[in-house]
Amino acid sequence: MTTYVLKTLLRHRVRTMLTVSGAAVAMFVYCFVGSVQEGLARLTTGSDADRSLIVFQENRFCPTSSRLPEDYSDKIMDVAGVRQVMPIQVWTNNCRASLDIVVFNGAAPDQIQSSRPVELTAGDWQTFQTRRDAAIVGRNVARRRGLAVGDQFSIGDVSVYVAGVFRSTVPSEENLIYTSLRFLQYTRGLDAAGLVTQHEVLLNEDADPDRVASQIDQVLRAGPVATTTRRKGAFQASTLSDLVDLIGFAHWLGYACVALVLSLVATTTVMSVQDRIKEYAVLQTIGVRPLRALRLVLAESMILCLVGGVTGTLLAGAVLGLGGFAIGAEGATIAFRPSLSLILSGTIVSLLVGIVAGIAPAIQAATVPIVDALRQA
């Protein structure tokens, strides 16, 4: 009976190919939307987002407008529950939402090496620590911009030597370029000697993030610049608030893709069954049970959906993996990265849609009035 199902699908090659292609395209988009949703979730949850704080200038949003004294780090270190403070100078080529945002984070090289979740895949730490204009580049940026170790990379007034390329367990990190703090502070146009954009605070295991954040703002209230301290996840969600709304809306696009596959495969299967209603009557005349006829139709729609859906899902996985795509605003970025859960979700959705799409035509085939159908020309 499997031969029958497969040969039936092959008989109408064009129709099968069009349906499979449609399902593949829709599931490709579904997975792409899913990867954006996952990227946002990763950015705003997880240990990096929950167990570290960002101290930013009060009522400021774009990194270029936040200017905090670098020595705030000493005062922050004195707050109970703080394990480490990393003053960071941020420079970005675009404060607005962009698909090709370049974000430089300037910090002490030894702190970057010890506290950031990065691992060099090319280049070496020594060059990064000793050469003034050295930078280590996240592999997504390197892929997008075609950068390799030894390249000189310039954007705006910033010009760096690529000393290394890194990967990270936190996908959004792979969209950053790290330089030394001093280099970025003295970059022409920034005029930020002694100033930084933000302080990143790592907490002790038992520290309550919200209580520590409040204490930091309290301590710094006496300083020249007031601050707002939030969990890193909340800070990034707030920074990307416009995009978050858009991304939240985009999940409807994902549902629309699923509905598209459903209607496409259901239409094809209904047409296929109606064209062959006499064939199903013949099958039942020779002894095929109605339930088996139902399963034959379900198998057809499931194969169509699975072949198309899995193709689209794998293609999306490959494109996301190779493309290194990211969207960002105001120095924060969301990485689009393929994941096993995304691939599994795409496959399971394809399977379920295949079953649902086949139910109506399957019932039609199973309950066909045999005598009437046999009379058809």
Partner 1 sequence: MTLVELNHVSKSFSKGDETITPLDDVSLQIDAGEFVSLMGPSGTGKSTLLNLVSGIDRPDSGTIHVDGTEITGLSRSKLADWRAANLGYIFQTHNLIPVLTAYENVELPTLLLPLSSAQRRDRVQLALEAVGLVDRAEHYPRQLSGGQEQRVGIARAIVAHPKVVVADEPTGSLDTETSQQIQVLLQRLNQELNITLLMVTHDADVAAIASRQLLLDHGRFLESNGAPQSDNNKASLSS
Non-local (6+) Cβ contacts of 14 within 8 A are none
Stretch that binds partner 1, among 100-108, 123-131, 194-202, 367-375 (CB under 8 A): 367-375
Stretch that binds partner 1, among 27-35, 57-65, 87-95, 281-289 (CB under 8 A): 281-289
Non-local (6+) Cβ contacts of 110 within 8 A are 129
Q: Is 1 in the site for partner 1 (CB under 8 A)?
A: yes
Helix, strand, coil fractions of the chain, as percent rounded to 5: 55, 20, 20
Task: Specify whether the CB–CB gap between 354 and 302 falls below 8 A.
Answer: yes
Least Å from the CB of residue 294 to partner 1: 11
Nearer to partner 1, 250 or 374 (CB): 374
How many CB atoms within 10 Å of residue 326? 26
Nearest partner of 244 among 37, 28, 71, judged by Cα: 37
Nearer to partner 1, 95 or 370 (CB): 370
Q: Is 289 in the site for partner 1 (CB under 8 A)?
A: yes
- Give CA–CA dist 6/85, Å, rounded: 63
* Nearest-10 Cα torsion for 107, 110, 113, 117: -50
Stretch that binds partner 1, among 129-137, 244-252, 278-286, 310-318 (CB under 8 A): 278-286
- Give CA–CA dist 168/174, Å, rounded: 6
Nearer to partner 1, 131 or 278 (CB): 278
Q: Is 14 in the site for partner 1 (CB under 8 A)?
A: no
Residue from 69, 290, 321, 323 that binds partner 1 (CB under 8 A)? 290
Stretch that binds partner 1, among 64-72, 83-91, 240-248, 274-282 (CB under 8 A): 274-282
Least Å from the CB of residue 371 to partner 1: 5
Residue from 282, 319, 351, 356 that binds partner 1 (CB under 8 A)? 282
Stretch that binds partner 1, among 13-21, 108-116, 167-175, 286-294 (CB under 8 A): 286-294
Least Å from the CB of residue 295 to partner 1: 13
Stretch that binds partner 1, among 72-80, 222-230, 308-316, 366-374 (CB under 8 A): 366-374
Tokens of 227: 């601050």
**Which residue shows structure tokens 């010890």?**
114
- Give CA–CA dist 247/42, Å, rounded: 13
Nearest partner of 147 among 166, 131, 133, judged by Cα: 166
193-232 mask for partner 1 (x: CB under 8 A)?
----------------------------------------
- Give CA–CA dist 348/178, Å, rounded: 39
Question: Could you report how far apart the first and last alpha carbons of the chain are, in Å?
Answer: 25
Q: How many residues bind partner 1 (CB under 8 A)?
A: 22
Which residues of this chain interact with partner 1, rule CB under 8 A? 1, 3-4, 7-8, 10-11, 278-279, 282-291, 370-371, 374
